[in-house]
Every structure is written in C-alpha cells, then in structure tokens.
C-alpha cells in the first residue's frame, strides 16, 4: 500500500511539474515582442491612428504552425499573469484571437476582470489573418 501511495505521489508531482521554466530564449522572445510593439505603437501614433495590441492566445504548437506577424503570443491560460508584457494601459485597444474564438472569449473576460476596458474577441486565426495581413 505504501509503495502504491509513493508511486501515485511521484506521478502527480512529475505531472504537475511538466511545464518548462522560462529560459533566456523565452526572455529574448518577450523582449523582441515588446520592442516590436513599441515601434508599431510609435508608427501608429505618428500616423494619427489608434494602435491595436493583437494577442494570439492559442497554444505554442498552434503559434508555431502560423500566426499573425504583428501579434504577441500569450496563451489564454497565462493572459492575466503576462498581459503587462504587452501593455499595462487599461484603456488600450486589445484584440485577442485563438482558433475559432472560444479561448479568445475566455481571455477577453479575464482581461476585463483585471480592468481592461477595450478588449475585442476577434474570433479565429483565419479571420484575424485576413484583417491584419
């Protein structure tokens, strides 16, 4: 009985710790996205346009298979912890998308609970790709 409990405990611990820790590559990606967004914001403001922060809330695998070039990648399960990487402005225009809109809806509601006031669920990747490319 004790062995079964130990095996079960080990399986739970291993299963719960499967998420990889951020490494320097992840930090470079975040810094690159942040710098790219700063440039996009400045260009939009210079042209007298309002800027939209576009966030892909799909999984890493989906992102790797293709994404809108100007989008930042934050999986919907991490949106509340990581939105500050993109913007801390609660009135900023934020457009979220996923595969068909379900996860984007969850991300939108999570951001609204944090006080973001201008969040749009743009639906799925194909819709957003047509809009921004």
Q: What domains does the chain contain, in order, with CATH numbers?
A: 49-133 (3.40.250.10)
Q: For residue 11, give the 3-state DSSP assignment.
A: helix
**Mean pLDDT confidence for 106-129:** 97
**pLDDT single digits (tens) 43-72:** 544 444 568 999 999 999 999 999 999 999
pTM check: above 0.75: no
Cα–Cα dist 123/102, whole Å: 8
Percentage of residues in the chain having pLDDT higher than 70: 62
Coil/strand/helix, residue 57? coil
Contact (CB, 8 A) for 117 and 89 = no
Q: What residues are labeled active site?
A: 98
Burial of 2 (0-12, 13-18, 19+ CB in 10 A): exposed
């Amino acid at each position: 009985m004790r062995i079964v409990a130990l095996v079960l405990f080990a399986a739970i611990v291993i299963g719960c710790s499967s998420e990889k820790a951020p490494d320097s590559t992840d930090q470079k990606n975040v810094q690159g996205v942040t710098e790219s967004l700063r440039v996009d914001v400045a260009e939009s403001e210079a042209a007298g346009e309002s800027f939209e922060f576009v966030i892909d809330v799909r999984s890493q695998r989906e992102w790797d298979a293709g994404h809108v070039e100007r989008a930042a990648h934050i999986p919907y399960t991490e949106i509340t912890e990581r939105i500050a990487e993109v913007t801390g402005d609660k009135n900023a225009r934020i457009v979220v998308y996923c595969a068909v809109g379900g996860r984007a809806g969850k991300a939108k509601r999570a951001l609204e609970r944090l006080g973001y006031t201008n969040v749009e669920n743009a639906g799925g990747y194909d819709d957003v790709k047509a809009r921004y490319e």
